[in-house]
């Protein structure tokens, strides 16, 4: 039971975007995908989500992704895109409710009607149900989408099988409080038995919340393992192409703000 890729490769036109990626994301863990821009993080997530043609093998809980119909895959995983623009005046509730479309949220029947409100409360948007999606800020829209995604896989484990959240930069346009709220949701989802795969740009958030880090570079997976093994001076410096010392205090008493030292 896991999401597993073997010899995963993606080409767009003649260019190889991903090559020979062996990734395993265990349920019960937050797996962070990190790497510089253009290293293939988003392509990897899109391949896992079933958006791209690929070669090699992707298995979700042992079943080949290519053998799944859209509605079967929708039971096993939910996907949060980077940003979603709408051209019709949907209310927040109407958008969140779309997550219930697959009909396998796992919530009890008497809970389902209230699920959008509960999901919104979890992402700190209680009271926003009646607002127009288009009138929200980028960060608020991102959290509405997360609420929708949460509705789709409300119970992290369904019929004895773990379910997965695939999050593409879930905190990219959020302030620090909401970064923590969202990452806490991911951590709770994993703690309850589900799996989370998240692209993260912030190595500090990664250090605080990830159980497993997959580091991408030039379309390959160059390192995977616990935070302490992957976030090392040499690896980080090589991949991000600048000299970085992990866990070193800034010189000259310059202030710094870390999510590691924040609580909500």
Question: Of the candidates 62, 88, 248, 254, which one interacts with other proteins according to CB under 8 A?
Answer: 88
Question: Of the candidates 37, 62, 67, 69, which one interacts with other proteins according to CB under 8 A?
Answer: 69
The two tokens of residue 255 are 């202030």
Q: Please say whether the beta carbons of 171 and 205 come within 8 A.
A: yes
* Nearest distance from C-beta of residue 240 to other proteins, angstroms: 28
Which residues are paired to 217 by β-bridges? 220
C-alpha 144: how far from chain center: 15
* Nearest distance from C-beta of residue 165 to other proteins, angstroms: 11
Q: Which is nearer to other proteins, 22 or 59 (CB)?
A: 59
**By CB under 8 A, which span of 28-36, 82-90, 175-183, 209-217 interacts with other proteins?**
82-90
User: The dihedral of CA 249, 250, 253, 255: what is its sign?
Assistant: negative
What is the per-residue DSSP string for 161-209? EE-EEEEESTTTT--HHHHHHHHHHHHHHHHTT-EEEEE-S-HHHHHHH
Question: Of the candidates 46, 143, 208, 212, which one interacts with other proteins according to CB under 8 A?
Answer: 46
Question: Of the candidates 54, 128, 154, 189, which one interacts with other proteins according to CB under 8 A?
Answer: 128
* Nearest distance from C-beta of residue 45 to other proteins, angstroms: 11
Q: Please say whether the beta carbons of 47 and 54 come within 8 A.
A: yes
Size of interface with other proteins, in residues (CB under 8 A): 39
Question: Of the candidates 29, 152, 179, 206, which one interacts with other proteins according to CB under 8 A?
Answer: 152
Question: Of the candidates 27, 28, 50, 170, which one interacts with other proteins according to CB under 8 A?
Answer: 50
Distances (CA, A) of 89 to 126, 127, 134, 194, 261: 20, 18, 7, 33, 40
The two tokens of residue 220 are 């390959």
In 13-68, where do the E strands start and end?
A: 15-25, 30-34, 55-60, 63-64
Question: Of the candidates 7, 53, 55, 84, which one interacts with other proteins according to CB under 8 A?
Answer: 84
Q: Per rule CB under 8 A, is residue 87 in the interface with other proteins?
A: yes
* Nearest distance from C-beta of residue 254 to other proteins, angstroms: 26
Positions touching other proteins (CB under 8 A) are: 46, 49-51, 69-75, 77-79, 81, 84, 86-95, 98-99, 101-102, 117, 127-132, 135, 152
């Amino acid at each position: 039971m896991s999401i597993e890729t073997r010899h995963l490769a993606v080409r767009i036109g003649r260019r190889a975007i991903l090559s020979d990626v062996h990734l395993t994301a265990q349920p019960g863990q937050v797996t962070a995908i990190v790497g510089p821009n253009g290293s293939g993080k988003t392509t990897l997530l899109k391949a896992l989500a079933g958006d791209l043609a690929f070669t090699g093998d992707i298995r979700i809980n042992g079943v080949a992704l290519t053998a799944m119909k859209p509605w079967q895959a929708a039971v096993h995983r939910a996907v949060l895109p980077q940003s979603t623009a709408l051209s019709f005046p949907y209310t927040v509730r109407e958008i969140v409710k779309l997550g219930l479309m697959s009909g396998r949220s796992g919530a009890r029947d008497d809970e389902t009607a209230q699920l959008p409100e509960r999901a919104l409360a979890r992402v700190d948007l209680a009271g926003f149900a009646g607002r127009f999606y288009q009138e929200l800020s980028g960060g608020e829209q991102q959290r509405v989408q997360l609420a929708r995604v949460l509705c789709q896989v409300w119970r992290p484990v369904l019929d004895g099988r773990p379910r997965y959240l695939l999050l593409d930069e879930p905190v990219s346009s959020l302030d620090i409080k909401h970064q923590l709220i969202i990452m806490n949701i991911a951590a709770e989802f994993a703690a309850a038995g589900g799996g989370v795969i998240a692209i993260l740009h912030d190595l500090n958030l990664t250090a605080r919340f990830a159980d497993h880090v997959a580091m991408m570079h030039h379309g390959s997976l160059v390192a995977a393992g616990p935070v302490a093994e992957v976030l090392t001076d040499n690896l980080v410096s090589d991949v991000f192409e600048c000299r970085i010392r992990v866990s070193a205090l800034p010189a000259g008493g310059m202030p710094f703000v870390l999510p590691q030292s924040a609580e909500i």
